[in-house]
Each structure stands twice: as structure tokens, then as C-alpha cells.
Structure 1
Amino acid sequence: MKIKLITTTYQNGEKNTLEKEKDFSADNGVEMQVVNLYPDVEYQEFDGFGAAITEAAGYTFSLMSEEKQNQILDAYFGGNGIRYQFIRSHIDSCDFSINPYTAMDDPNDADFKSFSLERDEKYIIPMLKRAEETAGKPLSVMLSPWSPPAFMKTNGSRTGGGALKPEYRSFWAEYICHYIKKYREKGFSIDMVTIQNEPNAKQTWDSCLYTSQEEKEFLRDYLYPSLTKNGLEDIAVFIWDHNKERMYERARAIMDEETNKMVQGVAFHWYTGEHFDAIQLVRDTFPDKKLYFTEGCVEYSRFSQEGQLENAQMYAYDIIGNINSGMNAFIDWNIILNKEGGPNHVNNFCDAPIMCDTENDIVEEKLSYTYIGHFSRYIEPGAKRIATTKYTDSLSLTALKNPDGSIVIVLLNRSKEDIPVHLRLNGEVAEFSIPGDSIMTGIV
């Protein structure tokens, strides 16, 4: 038995990825520096990886040459890329839009005669089409609203929080269904929707507040009946779509005997810390629900755009912790951005795994792109997480068994020192070392 090891190091601003093979030998009772893999002990199924095509991403993409556009698409969706399967996008505008917009803003148009996807058709839909062409298959798309139209809200604005007016709940549910149907008419596989992006955050950009009870009532009494009426019962509805620290409380407050069948999953973000235990609580309490990471990025307001190693390690550490706690899919935020970290209509700039200098037609793959690829290139949809044990907390790791039986283990070393490992599997041991400040993927 052999293990293929792919290792990425980063020193003095230079990335280096090397591949090598190691032989397993008989386990002669090794006790020190051991990492154990137990493929017969299985946990949740993993569905895949993806990212968001926002208007900002689509606009940036449109400014690049065809050669560079193809490079971006191949990097994410090509056979030699990091093989994304999911796309998230926004219903109407979000902060990563050029400016606020709605598909319809007439309070008297209950028949949606003035409804138009003109803005989506300009930048989002062209990039989504190209992504599917490169992937050679339909991508699974999730739609998330940042705010209802201003006329439906208590503060009369898309921005600054506010809430959905009770008298517009039915109208807004129908609006969401109309958005889904219009995308499906264009041939896209809209499979999932979240009820509200970050329902607990009053933002200077597009936002809308929901209490747990309001989200539950909107789902139970308006959105679910509207999806059913419109023949959209196959749409998977995800609740929460906000940070991890309150996901258990929200899940527990919304799901009961009546609403359980209406909810397919809980979506979560990373902006308030790791909170892996919160994911585990939801997994243990609601074992049949999908737990999807739906947004995370390196915000320039909080983190350095120069710290490529630290930023990449933040991605890998979070992915490992999330998977080990029960996550079923990882969907990153903006798939690409310009060199300023936008465009963003409220200057809420951030990093993306691929950044584009639109003036000079330059594509930059950040170290975070490579780190994500250490997972997404090798973990197949349908893989099952398997049990592991490790000898040191200096090492972060997760392991999954692909549908074909191959085992993928990802090991992250955030320390400066090399970490030796005796990898024990099925009565055999492979010995190797994980360099300091590196990530390693092993395939058996």
C-alpha cells in the first residue's frame, strides 16, 4: 500500500507544491507520533465545494480578456482546477453589487409584469453560463436574499436593517419563487435557497432583520406554501445563513414537528470565530439536516491583505474544523474580485482566492486558492468523513473516504516546526514529516 502526498509550503513569499509517494509497512507496535485512520467508522456525507458569483465577481470577470477569463474558469471548474460544484448568488443586490437594485419595485405589481433579471443578465448570468460550460455539467446553485425591495420594509430602505412588513410576507414569498422560476427558465439548476442572508445583522448595505419567530413564521406560513403552490417543492430551504455562534439557538427555535419537513439545512458563516462546537450541537440535535458553510472571506477591515499564509491557514483550519464537526459543504464568498477587493458599493472590501488586476489583465491566484484546492481537488461529492485520532494539537487534520473507496487525509501545520507522523491504517504504517507552515494532502 502506498500514499501519495501533495505538500504546499510558503516561504519568503514563494509558494512551492511538491508530490511524492511513501510506502506503508507492517505496524510493529509504533506508539509515538501516531495519526490513526479508521475508515470503517463513518460520519456525515460531504457534498462538495463552491463559491459565490456576485455582481462584483461577474463585473470583474467581464473586464478581463478572454484568455484570462478562461484561466479563471479553468482554475475553478476545469478538470485540472479545484473542481467546484456549487455556486451561491444573491436575490437582488448585496454589498458586492455595483450599486443597489431590485428586479421589481412596484408595490402594485402582484402579477410581476415589471419583474426583470436585467441586472443579473449583465454580469452574473454570463459568468454562471461560462462556469457551467467549463465544468461540462450543471452546477448546483443557491440563491440568498440580502433584502426585500424597499417598499416591503419597515425602514423603507434596502440598507440599514429594517424588517419585512407583515402585510408583505406573502408578496415577498412569491417574489422569491418568481426569482427561482426565472433562473430555472434560463436553464440553471436552482436547488437551494436561504431565507435571509445574515438575519441578525443591521448593515450599512442591503440587509433585513428577522427574529427566530419571524423567520419561522415566514417559512411556515408564507415561503413554504408559496414554494408548494409554484411547483418548487424540490427547492432545499436553508435557515439562518449567519455566524456560527447562534446557529444552534436559531435551529432549535425554528424546527419543530410542523416545520421540520420544511427545512433541509442550516447555513452558517465564520465571521465571529470558529465555534466548531456549535456546528456539532446542530449536527447532534438535527442529524438529518444538511449543514452548509455559505460565506466567509478575509475582510480588509479586520485582516491584512498582505498576510497570504495567515489567510490561507485561516481557510484550511476552518474547513477542517467544520468538516470534523459535521459540515456537508463549503461555499466560499466571492469567487473573484478586483485588486482593490471590490467593487463594493459601501467600500466593504475583502480578499478572494483569485484577484484580478483589470487594468493590466493580470490574474493572481492567492495562497488561499491553493489551500482550498488541497481539499476540493481530492474530496469527491459523496465522500464520507471517517474517524481519526492524532497525537498533538499542533496538527489539524480531517479524513474522508471517497465513493470509490480511496481515502483523503488533509493535514495542516500552522507551527514553524516540522511535525513527524506515523500514519496508521489497516495494520500498516507510513512515516513522513509535515513541514512547518505547510498543508499536506494524502491519498491512499
Structure 2
Amino acid sequence: MTPEPAAPVRWIVTTQDAAWREVPGPDVEPVTEMPNVFVVVDDPKQLIEGFGASFNELGWTSLGVLEQSQRDEIFRELFAPGVGAGLSLCRMPVGANDFSRDWYSYDEVPGDFALEHFDISNDLETLVPFIRAAQEQRPDLRLWASPWSPPSWMKRNGHYAGALPNPFMSNVQNGLNPDQVGHEGTDMFILDEPHLKAYARYFGRFIDAYRELGIPIGMVMPQNEFNSPQVFPSCTWTPDGFVQLLRHLGPEMAARDVEVFLGTLERSDDRLLGDVVAVSEAAGYVSGLGVQWEGKGAVAALHRLHPELRIYQTEQECGDGRNDWRHARHAWSLMKQFFGNGANAYMYWNISLLEGGLSRWGWTQNSLIVVDPETAAFRYSHEYQVLKHVSAFVAPGARALTCLTYSGYDNQLAFLNPDGSIVLVIQNDMSVEMPVRIMLGDRVIAPTLPADSFSTIVLPPVG
């Protein structure tokens, strides 16, 4: 019987001027000289749970500029397995965030501890159809959620925000008075039993309401960026405040089979989370950690000190609305740092925004999809292509692989998929072509990487 021919090696290349070109894969060669990169395939590291982005209100309204056929194309490209980016694990807010149409919570009736006025009707216009469109392409889409602010009446300052607008944001108003400004290292939440119990039930009502709509949410984090009072919805918490909340939030979520991660951390101090999980009563409810922005400086320590907890990169640094190649290169450096230090999942931030990426509160940020409201056209950003170079090929359940380097070649990530295929993503950040020899187990490839490029090389399973 004639043996089946070996499956070819795939090679996809993106440069600033030409995205996602599939070129003939490099040949598998014998070892004849010292490789530049050794991919350690027999000692796989952390499990990779998935890649995603966040469902924000302005993402949905920006897509509303487009025709239905264009939106269908976008959702298929982003979410359908085996088509494009293959996003499988996404974030959403609990109430308003900085890319909502305006401030809202699900219960703004002061003193409504029984939550008799709890109402998610606002989301029926935006977040619910947004998520459902993604579910149509990926029915097994996993979701997690975090609030940016509790209902304003649950906070000490009685307001959704925690900071006054900066002088350069003269067109932004949030109605905050100087005596309502929040401060890092304090608890803006009212830490008494009635408010803590009501807030834990608020999370539960949110989970129940979405579940009734056919949108299961598998995990929550108690607060986005808990150290940062912001001009937009925000709330600061201390480790002790989190411990008190978890006494109530933990049982509410456990009763619904919903996980609790601690986060999101945006400071480089691992103790801000470590001091919470050091308390056994709180640690029993926490199954993971959420880290973003400057929290990247704490990832290595968190992974080393708390190996029993999974780590999600929860919000990629969001740029300045220019969606340029410079920031796509920066995004790659972030992926390397997080996956190289034990992260299990990686989340982009805005799925879609209008050209310029302006938020309700004056911020300009990048997005995967950039919509031109004048022409009703859209484009996929450079950052989308970089994310896709990893997410399109690294399947949920893959394992990160260690790469040992020689002679200064150190600009790659490698993963072992459940089917045995190996995914290597590598950047050539130089302005000239770069030949490189890569040893993956007992196989060697020697591609010449185009100048200023990203490459994904997929080796099929052996045998």
C-alpha cells in the first residue's frame, strides 16, 4: 500500500502593505547546522483557552452604519470556526463601560436593596443583538463579564464616575463634583452588609437575565481596573473590599455554576491580587486572575506564586484611534509578554468603532473593524491581522511551547494544538529579509522572513 503523502507546511505572511498572503511553505530539512530557534515540543506549558474581544455598545452602533450583508461578512470572519480569526472567548460589561452610549446600570433606583427595579432592557438594543450575531457564527462562544461601576447609589460618592474630566477634554462632561472624586487605594463601594448582599444579587440577576435570553455567561470578575478612578464609569476597591464582596458574590455565582476570577488588575503589583487570595475564605471562590495594561508587569509573579489559578489577559492596550502599523507591532510585543509568562487566554478590546474611535467620554481607541460613516465602508485593522495570525490557528485546548534561541533570534511564539499540529508565529522586525533556521522536535525548517513582517507557519502532526 502506498503511504499517504505528508501534509504540506502552511505559511501565511502579513506586512504593512499586504495582509494575509499564503505562500509556499518551507521544506522540512535535516539538521545540518546549528538552528537559531529550538521549539521544545516535548514539554508543553500552559493550556490556551481561547482568544476574543469585548462586546461594547459603540461596537454595535458602529456596525449599524453598514449593510446587513457587510455585517454578516464581518461576523463570519471574526467568529466562524475555520474561516477567519476564530474568536471563541469574549468579554462584555455589566452595565455601562467607557464605550457605552452613555451611563446606565440595571438598577438606578436609590435604596432598592430588593432589586425590584432591576432591568436589562437597555441591552436589548445593543449588547444582546451584538452577542447573538456572534453566536450565530459560533454557537459555543464563551462569555465572561465585569462591571465598570456598580449602581451609583451603592457607591460612597453617589456617582458613576470617579474622576473629573481633564482640561484637554473640554467637550466632555460627567457631572462629577470635586468632593466626589475617588482615590486609588480606597473603597468607593459602600462596604456594609445590605449593599454587599444587594450587589452580589445584582450579579446573579444579571446572569439569570442573560441566561433566559439564551446567552450563558460562564465567569465574572468583580471590577474593571479596580485601582483607577476614571472620568467614565469606574469604582476603586482595596484587597480587603474584595474579600468582603467575595463572601457574598462567591456563593451567588457558585449557585449558578459561574466562575469568579479576580480582576481586572492594571498595576504591576501582584500583591493587589495576592493579598485577596491569601485569605482562605476568599480564595475558595476564585479560579483565575484577570490582568491588563500595566498588569503585564505582574503576570510572571502571579503565574509563579499562584500556579493553581488561570490567567486571562483581559484587555489589550487600546491605542489612540489611528489603527496604525506601529501599534500592531506593539500588540505583538504584548502577546509575547503575556503568553511567555503563563497567560491562558488573550482578549482584544473594541471589536468595531467608527473611524477615529471616539468614545462617549472623549477617548480615542483602536478596533479590529474600522467603519467609515461617510462611505458606509469598513476595513480590518492591522491589529486584527496580527491577532488573527495567532487566533486563527491556535485552537482552544492548545499548549504553549517554550522557544530556546541562539544568536539573537527571539521574536516568536509557538503552540502545540490538540491534533498535534505545531503553530509558530514569528516577527521579522527588521527592514531587510531575515533567514532563520527553526528546529521543532526533530524537524527543521529554514524560511527567509520578509522584511517587517509577521509569519504564521503551521506544521502538520507527525504520522
In the superposition, the TM-score normalised over structure 2's length comes to 0.88
Aligned to 1:157: 159
2:153 counterpart of 1:131: no
Q: CA deviation at 1:353?
A: 1.6
Aligned to 2:386: 371
Aligned to 2:438: 423
Instruction: Give a deviation string over 1:231-269, Cα, whole Å, max 9, x none.
Output: 22x2111112132512x1122101133322211111011
- Between the aligned partners of 2:444 and 2:390, the Cα distance in structure 1 is 23
Aligned to 2:272: 250
- Between the aligned partners of 1:97 and 1:50, the Cα distance in structure 2 is 19
Aligned to 1:10: 16
- Between the aligned partners of 1:377 and 1:318, the Cα distance in structure 2 is 18
- Between the aligned partners of 2:127 and 2:374, the Cα distance in structure 1 is 20
Instruction: Give a deviation string over 1:410-438, Cα, whole Å, max 9, x none.
Output: 11122223222111123332111122211
Do 2:12 and 2:20's aligned partners in 1 also have CA atoms closer than 8 Å?
no
- Between the aligned partners of 2:125 and 2:65, the Cα distance in structure 1 is 12
- Between the aligned partners of 2:27 and 2:413, the Cα distance in structure 1 is 21
The alignment partner of 2:115 has SS state of coil
Instruction: Give a deviation string over 1:170-191, Cα, whole Å, max 9, x none.
Output: 1111111111111111111200
- Between the aligned partners of 1:145 and 1:428, the Cα distance in structure 2 is 47
Q: CA deviation at 1:39?
A: 0.9
2:29 counterpart of 1:21: no
- Between the aligned partners of 1:197 and 1:434, the Cα distance in structure 2 is 39
The alignment partner of 1:295 has SS state of coil
Given residue 411 of structure 1, which amino acid in structure 2 is its aligned partner? Answer: I
Please point out which of 57, 64, 67 is paired with 1:65. 67
Please point out which of 62, 84, 87 is paired with 2:87. 84
Q: Unpaired segments of 5 or more residues in structure 1?
A: none
Aligned to 2:396: 381
- Between the aligned partners of 2:408 and 2:231, the Cα distance in structure 1 is 39
Instruction: Give a deviation string over 1:54-110, Cα, whole Å, max 9, x none.
Output: 111122223321011112212201241100001211111111011101111123433
Do 2:11 and 2:23's aligned partners in 1 also have CA atoms closer than 8 Å?
yes
- Range moving further from structure 2, 19-28 or 51-60: 19-28
Do 1:96 and 1:345's aligned partners in 2 also have CA atoms closer than 8 Å?
yes
Q: CA deviation at 1:6?
A: 1.2
Aligned to 2:333: 317
The alignment partner of 2:261 has SS state of strand
Q: CA deviation at 1:112?
A: 2.6
- From the superposition, tell whether residues 393 and 347 of structure 1 become closer, same or farther in structure 2 (CA, over 3 Å): farther
- Between the aligned partners of 1:87 and 1:243, the Cα distance in structure 2 is 19
Aligned to 1:106: 109
Please point out which of 211, 223, 230 is paired with 2:249. 223
Aligned to 2:283: 260
Aligned length: 426
Aligned to 1:280: 300
Do 1:395 and 1:414's aligned partners in 2 also have CA atoms closer than 8 Å?
no
Aligned to 1:116: 119
Aligned to 1:305: 322
- Between the aligned partners of 1:274 and 1:314, the Cα distance in structure 2 is 13
- Between the aligned partners of 1:120 and 1:273, the Cα distance in structure 2 is 30
In the superposition, the TM-score normalised over structure 1's length comes to 0.92
2:357 counterpart of 1:337: no
- Between the aligned partners of 1:393 and 1:330, the Cα distance in structure 2 is 26
Given residue 322 of structure 2, which amino acid in structure 1 is its aligned partner? Answer: Q
Runs of 4+ off more than 6 Å: none
The alignment partner of 1:441 has SS state of strand
2:426 counterpart of 1:411: yes
The alignment partner of 2:356 has SS state of coil
Q: What is the Cα-based RMSD across aligned positions, in Å?
A: 1.8
Name the structure where strand makes up a greater proportion of residues. Answer: 1
- Between the aligned partners of 1:442 and 1:222, the Cα distance in structure 2 is 47
2:315 counterpart of 1:295: yes
Given residue 101 of structure 1, which amino acid in structure 2 is its aligned partner? Answer: Y
Do 2:399 and 2:417's aligned partners in 1 also have CA atoms closer than 8 Å?
yes
Aligned to 2:175: none
Given residue 427 of structure 1, which amino acid in structure 2 is its aligned partner? Answer: D
% same residue: 26
Do 1:297 and 1:352's aligned partners in 2 also have CA atoms closer than 8 Å?
no
Q: CA deviation at 1:326?
A: 0.3
- Between the aligned partners of 2:289 and 2:441, the Cα distance in structure 1 is 35
Q: Unpaired segments of 5 or more residues in structure 2?
A: 1-5, 164-181, 183-187
Given residue 323 of structure 1, which amino acid in structure 2 is its aligned partner? Answer: F
The alignment partner of 2:44 has SS state of strand
- From the superposition, tell whether residues 222 and 16 of structure 1 become closer, same or farther in structure 2 (CA, over 3 Å): closer
Q: CA deviation at 1:113?
A: 2.7
- Between the aligned partners of 1:244 and 1:24, the Cα distance in structure 2 is 44
- From the superposition, tell whether residues 102 and 399 of structure 1 become closer, same or farther in structure 2 (CA, over 3 Å): same
